[in-house]
Structure 1
Amino acid sequence: MAQLVVTYRTPTDPAAFDAHYRDVHAPLARQIPGLRRFDLSDGPVMTPEGPSDIHSIAILTFDSLADLTAAMGSPEGQAAAADVGTFATGGASMQMFETREA
Protein backbone atom coordinates (compact mmCIF):
# COMPACT_ATOMS: atom_id res chain seq x y z
CA MET A 1 0.00 0.00 0.00
CA ALA A 2 0.99 3.65 -0.38
CA GLN A 3 -0.34 6.82 1.14
CA LEU A 4 -0.48 10.51 0.42
CA VAL A 5 -0.73 12.54 3.63
CA VAL A 6 -1.78 16.18 3.23
CA THR A 7 -1.38 18.43 6.26
CA TYR A 8 -3.28 21.73 6.18
CA ARG A 9 -2.19 24.51 8.53
CA THR A 10 -4.85 26.68 10.15
CA PRO A 11 -6.46 28.83 7.40
CA THR A 12 -7.41 32.48 7.72
CA ASP A 13 -11.12 31.51 7.59
CA PRO A 14 -11.66 27.99 8.97
CA ALA A 15 -15.38 27.95 8.12
CA ALA A 16 -14.69 28.84 4.47
CA PHE A 17 -11.93 26.21 4.34
CA ASP A 18 -14.27 23.53 5.71
CA ALA A 19 -17.07 24.45 3.28
CA HIS A 20 -14.75 24.44 0.26
CA TYR A 21 -13.15 21.17 1.33
CA ARG A 22 -16.53 19.49 1.78
CA ASP A 23 -18.27 20.91 -1.30
CA VAL A 24 -15.43 21.21 -3.84
CA HIS A 25 -12.13 19.59 -2.86
CA ALA A 26 -13.29 16.25 -1.45
CA PRO A 27 -15.44 15.51 -4.53
CA LEU A 28 -12.41 16.30 -6.75
CA ALA A 29 -10.15 14.06 -4.68
CA ARG A 30 -12.63 11.17 -4.75
CA GLN A 31 -12.33 11.16 -8.57
CA ILE A 32 -8.57 10.47 -8.52
CA PRO A 33 -8.00 7.13 -10.28
CA GLY A 34 -6.78 4.26 -8.14
CA LEU A 35 -7.87 5.84 -4.86
CA ARG A 36 -8.68 3.03 -2.40
CA ARG A 37 -9.45 5.02 0.73
CA PHE A 38 -9.83 8.70 1.64
CA ASP A 39 -9.72 9.65 5.33
CA LEU A 40 -9.96 13.13 6.83
CA SER A 41 -9.27 14.19 10.40
CA ASP A 42 -12.38 15.00 12.40
CA GLY A 43 -12.16 17.78 14.93
CA PRO A 44 -9.06 19.48 16.29
CA VAL A 45 -5.61 18.12 15.44
CA MET A 46 -3.74 17.83 18.72
CA THR A 47 -0.18 17.13 19.84
CA PRO A 48 0.79 15.38 23.08
CA GLU A 49 1.38 18.88 24.47
CA GLY A 50 -2.01 20.25 23.37
CA PRO A 51 -3.39 22.16 20.37
CA SER A 52 -1.41 22.32 17.13
CA ASP A 53 -1.26 24.76 14.23
CA ILE A 54 -2.73 22.05 11.99
CA HIS A 55 -6.36 22.48 10.97
CA SER A 56 -6.87 19.23 9.05
CA ILE A 57 -5.08 16.11 7.80
CA ALA A 58 -6.14 14.04 4.78
CA ILE A 59 -4.84 10.52 4.15
CA LEU A 60 -5.35 9.04 0.68
CA THR A 61 -4.50 5.36 0.19
CA PHE A 62 -3.47 3.62 -3.05
CA ASP A 63 -2.25 0.12 -3.93
CA SER A 64 1.36 1.19 -4.57
CA LEU A 65 3.60 4.22 -4.83
CA ALA A 66 3.61 3.74 -8.61
CA ASP A 67 -0.21 3.91 -8.60
CA LEU A 68 -0.12 6.99 -6.37
CA THR A 69 2.42 8.74 -8.58
CA ALA A 70 0.38 7.94 -11.70
CA ALA A 71 -2.80 9.12 -9.97
CA MET A 72 -1.24 12.47 -9.06
CA GLY A 73 -0.17 12.92 -12.68
CA SER A 74 -3.66 12.21 -13.99
CA PRO A 75 -6.00 15.06 -14.97
CA GLU A 76 -8.07 14.34 -11.83
CA GLY A 77 -5.01 14.34 -9.60
CA GLN A 78 -3.75 17.57 -11.17
CA ALA A 79 -7.16 19.21 -10.69
CA ALA A 80 -7.25 18.24 -7.01
CA ALA A 81 -3.67 19.41 -6.44
CA ALA A 82 -4.34 22.73 -8.19
CA ASP A 83 -7.44 23.29 -6.07
CA VAL A 84 -5.39 23.23 -2.84
CA GLY A 85 -4.07 26.71 -3.59
CA THR A 86 -7.59 28.11 -3.81
CA PHE A 87 -8.60 27.37 -0.21
CA ALA A 88 -5.56 26.33 1.89
CA THR A 89 -4.67 29.87 2.98
CA GLY A 90 -2.59 28.57 5.90
CA GLY A 91 -0.52 26.41 3.59
CA ALA A 92 -0.38 22.68 2.99
CA SER A 93 2.31 20.03 2.79
CA MET A 94 2.12 16.68 0.99
CA GLN A 95 4.09 13.52 1.68
CA MET A 96 3.89 10.30 -0.36
CA PHE A 97 5.25 6.95 0.82
CA GLU A 98 4.92 3.17 0.70
CA THR A 99 3.57 1.54 3.85
CA ARG A 100 4.16 -1.79 5.56
CA GLU A 101 2.93 -3.36 8.72
CA ALA A 102 5.36 -2.72 11.56
Structure 2
Amino acid sequence: MARMIAMYKKPADAAAFDAHYFGTHVPIAKKIPGLRSYEVNDGGVATPGGSSDFHLIAILTFDSIADIQAGLGSPEGQAAAADLANFAQAGVDLLFFDTKEV
Protein backbone atom coordinates (compact mmCIF):
# COMPACT_ATOMS: atom_id res chain seq x y z
CA MET A 1 0.00 0.00 0.00
CA ALA A 2 1.01 3.61 -0.44
CA ARG A 3 -0.26 6.78 1.16
CA MET A 4 -0.49 10.37 0.08
CA ILE A 5 -0.77 12.86 2.92
CA ALA A 6 -2.05 16.40 2.33
CA MET A 7 -1.42 18.69 5.30
CA TYR A 8 -3.38 21.94 4.95
CA LYS A 9 -2.19 24.92 6.98
CA LYS A 10 -4.72 26.95 8.98
CA PRO A 11 -6.68 29.22 6.62
CA ALA A 12 -7.78 32.78 7.37
CA ASP A 13 -11.42 31.67 7.01
CA ALA A 14 -11.87 28.09 8.23
CA ALA A 15 -15.60 28.01 7.38
CA ALA A 16 -14.96 29.02 3.76
CA PHE A 17 -12.11 26.49 3.52
CA ASP A 18 -14.31 23.69 4.86
CA ALA A 19 -17.23 24.59 2.59
CA HIS A 20 -15.05 24.47 -0.52
CA TYR A 21 -13.00 21.47 0.62
CA PHE A 22 -15.94 19.22 1.43
CA GLY A 23 -18.37 20.62 -1.14
CA THR A 24 -16.05 20.86 -4.14
CA HIS A 25 -12.54 19.46 -3.61
CA VAL A 26 -13.41 16.10 -2.07
CA PRO A 27 -15.84 15.16 -4.89
CA ILE A 28 -13.14 16.05 -7.44
CA ALA A 29 -10.36 14.19 -5.61
CA LYS A 30 -12.47 11.07 -5.02
CA LYS A 31 -12.51 10.58 -8.81
CA ILE A 32 -8.71 10.17 -8.99
CA PRO A 33 -8.02 6.77 -10.59
CA GLY A 34 -6.49 4.21 -8.23
CA LEU A 35 -7.73 5.88 -5.04
CA ARG A 36 -8.64 3.17 -2.51
CA SER A 37 -9.62 5.26 0.52
CA TYR A 38 -9.80 8.89 1.60
CA GLU A 39 -9.68 9.92 5.26
CA VAL A 40 -9.49 13.30 7.00
CA ASN A 41 -9.06 14.33 10.61
CA ASP A 42 -12.20 14.75 12.65
CA GLY A 43 -11.58 17.78 14.85
CA GLY A 44 -8.41 19.75 15.45
CA VAL A 45 -4.87 18.69 14.59
CA ALA A 46 -2.63 18.65 17.66
CA THR A 47 0.98 17.96 18.60
CA PRO A 48 2.31 16.64 21.91
CA GLY A 49 2.89 20.29 22.85
CA GLY A 50 -0.61 21.48 21.97
CA SER A 51 -2.15 22.90 18.82
CA SER A 52 -0.49 22.71 15.41
CA ASP A 53 -0.23 24.93 12.35
CA PHE A 54 -2.49 22.54 10.42
CA HIS A 55 -6.22 22.81 9.90
CA LEU A 56 -6.83 19.58 8.02
CA ILE A 57 -4.89 16.41 7.25
CA ALA A 58 -6.07 14.16 4.42
CA ILE A 59 -4.78 10.59 4.02
CA LEU A 60 -5.34 9.04 0.61
CA THR A 61 -4.55 5.36 0.09
CA PHE A 62 -3.42 3.77 -3.18
CA ASP A 63 -1.91 0.40 -4.06
CA SER A 64 1.54 1.83 -4.89
CA ILE A 65 3.51 5.03 -5.41
CA ALA A 66 3.23 4.35 -9.14
CA ASP A 67 -0.56 4.45 -8.73
CA ILE A 68 -0.31 7.77 -6.85
CA GLN A 69 1.83 9.23 -9.62
CA ALA A 70 -0.49 7.92 -12.33
CA GLY A 71 -3.52 9.22 -10.45
CA LEU A 72 -2.00 12.67 -10.02
CA GLY A 73 -1.10 12.74 -13.70
CA SER A 74 -4.62 11.84 -14.81
CA PRO A 75 -7.17 14.50 -15.82
CA GLU A 76 -8.93 13.94 -12.48
CA GLY A 77 -5.67 14.35 -10.56
CA GLN A 78 -4.83 17.48 -12.51
CA ALA A 79 -8.30 18.89 -11.74
CA ALA A 80 -7.76 18.23 -8.02
CA ALA A 81 -4.34 19.91 -8.14
CA ALA A 82 -5.74 22.92 -10.01
CA ASP A 83 -8.50 23.28 -7.41
CA LEU A 84 -5.98 23.82 -4.59
CA ALA A 85 -5.62 27.48 -5.59
CA ASN A 86 -9.34 27.94 -4.91
CA PHE A 87 -9.18 27.23 -1.18
CA ALA A 88 -5.67 26.36 0.11
CA GLN A 89 -4.18 29.86 0.10
CA ALA A 90 -2.49 29.24 3.48
CA GLY A 91 -0.52 26.39 1.91
CA VAL A 92 -0.53 22.63 1.72
CA ASP A 93 2.29 20.11 2.11
CA LEU A 94 1.94 16.93 0.03
CA LEU A 95 3.85 13.77 0.93
CA PHE A 96 3.63 10.26 -0.46
CA PHE A 97 5.27 7.00 0.52
CA ASP A 98 5.01 3.23 0.48
CA THR A 99 3.93 1.59 3.73
CA LYS A 100 4.68 -1.67 5.47
CA GLU A 101 3.31 -3.20 8.59
CA VAL A 102 5.80 -3.60 11.45
- What's the TM-score, normalizing by structure 1? 0.97
Unaligned runs of 5+ in 2: none
Is residue 2:71 matched to residue 1:71?
yes
- Aligned AA (1:36): R
Partner Cα separation in structure 1 for residue 39 and residue 82 of structure 2: 20
Partner Cα separation in structure 2 for residue 20 and residue 3 of structure 1: 23
Segments ≥4 residues shifted beyond 6 Å: none
**CA RMSD across the alignment:** 0.6
- What's the TM-score, normalizing by structure 2? 0.97
Alignment partner of 1:11: what SS?
coil
Partner of 1:60: 60
Unaligned runs of 5+ in 1: none
Partner of 2:15: 15
Partner Cα separation in structure 2 for residue 92 and residue 67 of structure 1: 21
What displacement does 1:86 show?
1.1
